[in-house]
Structure 1
Amino acid sequence: MADRETFEVEALGHVVGGRIEPTDDYWGGTRAIIRLDADRFTPDATKGLEDFSHLEIVFRFHLADPTDLNLGARRPRDNPDWPEVGIFGHRNMRRLNWLGVSRCRLIKVDGLDLHVEELDAVDGTPVLDVKPWFTDFGPRGEVHQAQWTTDMLADYFARRAQDA
C-alpha cells in the first residue's frame, strides 16, 4: 500500500517499579511511578495535574515479541471458549504499532514523578503520552461490550491473594 504513513515518536518518560513482567490478571493495587524525562521537562510540565484523580497513559509494549503478531482473527488468550475476533476487537499487546492505552489512578505528583496505581504497564515501559482523564471525554450514550470480555477481565484489576 503506497499511502502508508510512518511516524517517529519519542518516549517522554518511563515506568519505574511495579510489575517486571506483563501478565494477564491481578493488576489491582499495583503501584508504579511514571518518571518524566528531566532533560526535556521541568516540574512546570506537571503543574495542575494533581487536581485530577486519573490519567490516561499511552505507552509502547516494549517486551512484546514482534513475531507474535496476527493481523487477522484469533481467540482472546487462546481460550477455545471465546470467539475468534480480529486484531481490532482486542486490547492486547499483539498490535501492529505495539501501543497500549491505560487509565490509572494518580496517587501523587512529585516533580516529574507521577505516582500511579493500576497502570498495566511494566517497569521500563516507554511512556509516549500522559493525559489527565476528563470525565467529559468518557463514553456518551449506552455502553455495551461482548460478554467474553467481561468473563476474561473478571480478575484483571483484582488483587492477588498475597497482596490482599
Structure 2
Amino acid sequence: MPENSTPAAVVSVPVGRVVGGRAEVRDDDWGKETAIIRLDAGQYGPEAVAGLDAFSHLEVVYHFDRVPTDKIQTGARHPRGNTDWPLVGIFAQRGKNRPNRLGVSRCRLLKTDGLDLHVQGLDAVDGTPVLDIKPYMTEFGPQGPTTQPDWATDIMRHYH
C-alpha cells in the first residue's frame, strides 16, 4: 500500500456467539470453563462444520465487545496494572484493551452438535461475538523453542 493511502475500513460479521460459560470478565482460571460456540444458522448450515469433529482443538477469533472504546490502549502499560511487572507496549501483551478489540484463543473442542461447538478453555464470556473459527493444526504451532519474559510466565500462572 502506498505511504499516502488511507487503509480501508475492515468490517467483520460474526459467524456466531459464545453461549453459556462464564458471564463476567475475569483474568484467570479459564481452563475448566465450558461453553458453546453457536454458529449463525442464518449464514451457515451443517456442512460448514463437516469434519471439524476430527480435531481436538480450535483457534477462535472473537471481539472484545464489552471493552468500551474509551478504554482502548495504544501505548505501553504495566500488564494488569501491576507495577511489579515492566511497562510494555500493547502489542507485547495479550490484554483485552487492544486497538481493534480482537481476541484469539485456542481451546479444546469437546464435541459438535449441529451448529453448536462445545468447547473447553475458551477465554471469552457469554454473548461474545465470534468472528472466525479454525481447527488447530500442530504444524501451525511454533517451530522450535519459544521464549518469553518472566513476567509473562508469572501472569499466566493461574490462567488455565
- Does 2:116 align with 1:113? yes
Moved beyond 6 Å, runs of 4+: none
Whole-angstrom distance in 2 between the partners of 1:90 and 1:74? 9
Q: Within 5 A, what are the aligned runs for 1:15-164?
A: 15-157=18-160
**How far is the alpha carbon of 1:2 from its aligned partner?**
4.8
Q: Which residue of 2 aligns with 1:8?
A: 11
What one-letter code is carried by the residue in structure 1 that aligns with 2:151?
W
Whole-angstrom distance in 2 between the partners of 1:135 and 1:97? 27
Whole-angstrom distance in 1 between the partners of 2:63 and 2:30? 18
Q: Secondary structure at the match of 1:67?
A: helix
Q: Which residue of 2 aligns with 1:161?
A: none
**How far is the alpha carbon of 1:4 from its aligned partner?**
2.8
Q: Aligned-residue CA RMSD in angstroms? A: 1.0
**How far is the alpha carbon of 1:110 from its aligned partner?**
0.3
**How far is the alpha carbon of 1:70 from its aligned partner?**
2.1
**How far is the alpha carbon of 1:33 from its aligned partner?**
0.1
What one-letter code is carried by the residue in structure 2 that aligns with 1:83?
P
Q: Secondary structure at the match of 2:91?
A: helix
What one-letter code is carried by the residue in structure 2 that aligns with 1:12?
V
What percentage of aligned pairs have identical amino acids? 54
**How far is the alpha carbon of 1:142 from its aligned partner?**
1.8
- More off after superposition, 100-109 vs 136-145: 136-145
TM-score, length-scaled by structure 1: 0.93
Q: How many residues align?
A: 157
Q: Which residue of 2 aligns with 1:162?
A: none
Structure 1 unmatched runs, 5+: 158-164
Structure 2 unmatched runs, 5+: none
TM-score, length-scaled by structure 2: 0.95
**How far is the alpha carbon of 1:3 from its aligned partner?**
2.3
What one-letter code is carried by the residue in structure 2 that aligns with 1:8?
V
